[in-house]
Amino acid sequence: MSSMGQEQVRASHILIKHEGSRRKSSWKDPEGRAIAATTRDSAVGRLRAFRSDILTGHARFDDVAASHSDCSSAKRGGDLGRFGRGQMQKPFEEVAFALKIGDISDIVDTDSGVHIILRTG
């Protein structure tokens, strides 16, 4: 029973913030001007294009994260390190734990914005 509580995954993600995001600023957009002008649909469209480029081998996940992610983890290629349950927003956690290592999620919505998640460990 206690071992279940210790379950951890390692994951990277690409976050695109939009007008519905809880915090409308990021390292890329400190004033939040672009974020406030971004609809969820356009954020999802950008992420789908990135995901397609990564899956077809036209781009590397960490490179896309470094250039485009609105999370400060961009500086680490999107790497969030290891985390257990209860540390991330619930929709993010559920998808990250369900992925197999090396798999990339579909679009995940959280209060932060829209994400794609790569499970790395």
Write the CATH number for 23: 3.10.50.40
User: Residue 100 has what DSSP assignment?
Assistant: P
Q: What is the pLDDT of residues 69-97, one digit of tens each?
A: 999 999 999 999 999 999 999 999 999 99
Q: What is the pLDDT of residue 50?
A: 98
Spell out the residues 6+ positions from residue 72 whose beta carbon is closer than 8 angstroms to its own.
Answer: 26, 27
With respect to residue 11, please indicate whether it lies within any of the assigned structural domains.
yes
Distances in Å between the Cα of 40 and the Cα atoms of 46, 69, 73, 89, 97 are 10, 15, 21, 18, 24
- The one catalytic residue in 18, 21, 105, 115 is 115
> For the chain, how many structural domains are there in total?
1
- Confidence grade of residue 35 (pLDDT, cut at 50, 70, 90): very high
Whether 87 is catalytic is: no
- The one catalytic residue in 13, 18, 26, 69 is 13
Range(s) of the domain holding residue 90: 7-119
Distances in Å between the Cα of 92 and the Cα atoms of 10, 52, 96 are 12, 20, 6
Model's pTM, two decimal places?
A: 0.94
- The one catalytic residue in 21, 69, 71, 105 is 71
Q: Indicate whether 2 pLDDT > 70.
A: no
Whether 58 is catalytic is: no
**Rounded mean pLDDT of 10-22?**
98
Whether 71 is catalytic is: yes
**And the tokens for 84?**
């257990």
With respect to residue 2, please indicate whether it lies within any of the assigned structural domains.
no
- Confidence grade of residue 4 (pLDDT, cut at 50, 70, 90): low
CA distance 63 to 51: 12
Q: What is the pLDDT of residue 6?
A: 77
- The one catalytic residue in 12, 73, 105, 112 is 112
**Rounded mean pLDDT of 33-61?**
98
